[in-house]
Chains A and B, each alone.
Chain A
Amino acid sequence: MKLQNEEIRLTWQSDKRKERQNLTLLFGGTILVFLFCMCFKFDAFRYESKFVPVDNFKSLLLPHLSDKGSIEYLGAVARLRVTLVSFISGGALALGGAIFQTAYRNPMASPNILGATSGVSLGNVLAVSMFSLSALQHIELRYILCYGITFICLIVVFLLGKLAGGKKSKNSSVLEMVMIGSIISQGLGTFTMYLMYNLEEEERLVYQQLTLGINMQSSFVSMALFFSVMAISIIPVVIMRYRLNSLGFESEEAQSLGLYTSATRTVAQFCGVLMVTASMIHCGQIGMISLVIPYAVRNIVGADFKKVCVFSFCLGGILMMLCRLVSTLIGVLGEAISVIPIVNIVLMPAFAIVLAKRNREVI
């Protein structure tokens, strides 16, 4: 039976309305949490305030009327940077996880299987080995080492994957890529361990600060690099968000639908590794967001990557901002703590709840 235009129009409008409502809720929630994290008054707990009270944010909105050298202005800028970096890092980790889970058709996949974590770890330990306690000051060289090793690792995995795929296969096999990635990660991990055990006690503390992301760098170079890398890796993914659904297709299925997936797959994997590497360099090695957030998002909004992409990014960002806030608050109380255990503590029960809910639905 031929459907009437009116009937289709009504269904279209109803679907679009639902989509808009969900997005409004998501973006509204994200903005609220962002503002909360920016304005949260730590001195409300009667501890000496190291942070900017809410009134001082006027200087950010009206910079031409404010003294750019004032403590209020500088404090507001620093806090804006930390909150933004936390948001984007959390979002990028979740988005990177979503990309790899779709590309490998596996909810356990993450960019780490292509060597992102081990590349950053080795870069950090090499920086500490080379510059000792002043590694925190040589940020440019640390970035070159971390990005460089991860990039080389990625290229090697791609090339070996292609070789292992044989002459007949144009694409690398997923299984072979995972195996090669794991082997290279293990190799880099062993080398990292060896270098780490040769560090002095104080050097090891510096290494821990770097890998746990306790001291977030907020210099101009750091910020410029961070935002550039994030823009390069996130924007293409957001633009291609609908097309990235095709990553989950089998090769023949994609061909019969008229799709060329190998280039899309390579670009998506490259972007995924890049965004996760940047997050780990600037915010510490947090793996759980990549795993749990996309999984939870699929259970909430469905599997369409168009939605998974946006929801994973915002929810990952919200989680990271809140965890960074808690970590800073604990820091104000006098105990320096990395954001990583806080993220893990929050995500473990959340993941259990999502799993339990899903099992109940299946039953």
Chain B
Amino acid sequence: MKLELRDVSCGYDKAKPVIKDINLTLKDGDVCCILGPNGVGKTTLFKSILNLIPPLSGQICIDGKSVSSLSRRNLSDQMAYVAQAHIPAFPYQVREIVMMGRMGKLHLAGQPTRRDYEVCEQALEDVGIRHLRDKVYTEISGGERQLLMIARALAQSPRILVMDEPTANLDYGNMVIVIECIRILAEKGLCIIFTSHTPDHAFMTKAKTALLFRNEPMVFGTCDEVVTNRNLQNAYKTDIQVLEIMTPDGETTKVIHPRFHR
């Protein structure tokens, strides 16, 4: 599988594109972390990738096929979306929510089959919340809800997972659980694209990183190439430093630390 964005400009008005000249290529097992300040167009880019709003120019292709030429059902076979926040109107059970990931594969009068059931149980197992299957959605924690949304997306059996700020509003423990889940899924060969406001996430997931700026072209590359002092200061207009540290296991990793002047 190859996801390509070629000279993509996105937005709602051709005269004022929110984001322009995006070029990136991702394949199976890649993790791509999209960083950038608020309002720079991360969510708009996601919506274009998901074909929710057509790109103003350029092409978004999966295996050479433009996403705009794919039917909604075919696109959902390729790509699943995990929204930033999900509030179901009614108290569904965890397993019922995961099963909804299969709904696009059923015909209008269809009922879930044994095969759908197997996929959903496996999705719950993959994100480590199968023990919660009979719980009501409103009774589980924020982190578990996010994992549940990932499980629902996995139930679509996609090849690309698109996640909009998957760790937003989560405490540190839950954030670690979600990031760990992303790493595991990527190891299994899933291509994952996620946005984040925490540049550390790029290092945690060893992601290819796209850093969006307000008035400059996007920078894309490995996290070590992109998440640098200069780029971060340029993007966030604040004094940030990237520190290299050695973990007790002897592994070298990088962390982000702001420099306070007062």
Contacts and interface: CB of A to CB of B under 8 A. Distances in A.
B77, B79, B117 interface centre (most CB from chain A within 10 Å)? B117
A171 to B, nearest CB: 14
A258 B156 contact: yes
B83 interface: yes
B103 A243 contact: yes
Interface in B68-101: 72-77, 79-81, 83, 86, 88-93, 95-96, 100-101
Contacts of B101: 257
State which size class the interface on B falls in. 35 or more
B93 A252 contact: no
B103 A304 contact: no
A71 B96 CA distance: 52
A8 B118 contact: yes
B104 interface: yes
A12 B114 contact: yes
A145 B91 CA distance: 40
A233 interface: no
B89 A102 contact: yes
A310 to B, nearest CB: 12
Contact of B91 (A3, A246, A255, A298): A298
A259 B121 contact: no
B47, B86, B92 interface centre (most CB from chain A within 10 Å)? B92
Given A258-B73, A302-B92, A303-B96, A12 B117 contact: yes
Interface in B115-130: 117-118, 121-122, 125
A302 B77 contact: no
Contacts of B93: 302-304
B117 A8 contact: yes
B50 interface: yes
A242 B111 contact: yes
Interface string A212-243: 00000000000000000000000000011011
Nearest to B12: A168
B89 A302 contact: no
B90 A248 contact: yes
21 contacts: A1-B125, A3-B122, A8-B121, A11-B121, A101-B90, A102-B89, A242-B103, A245-B100, A248-B88, A252-B83, A253-B83, A255-B50, A256-B80, A257-B103, A258-B77, A258-B103, A258-B104, A260-B72, A264-B108, A303-B88, A303-B91
Given A239-B108, A303-B88, 17 more contacts: A1-B125, A8-B118, A12-B117, A101-B90, A102-B89, A102-B90, A243-B103, A245-B96, A249-B100, A252-B81, A256-B50, A256-B81, A257-B156, A258-B72, A258-B77, A258-B104, A258-B156
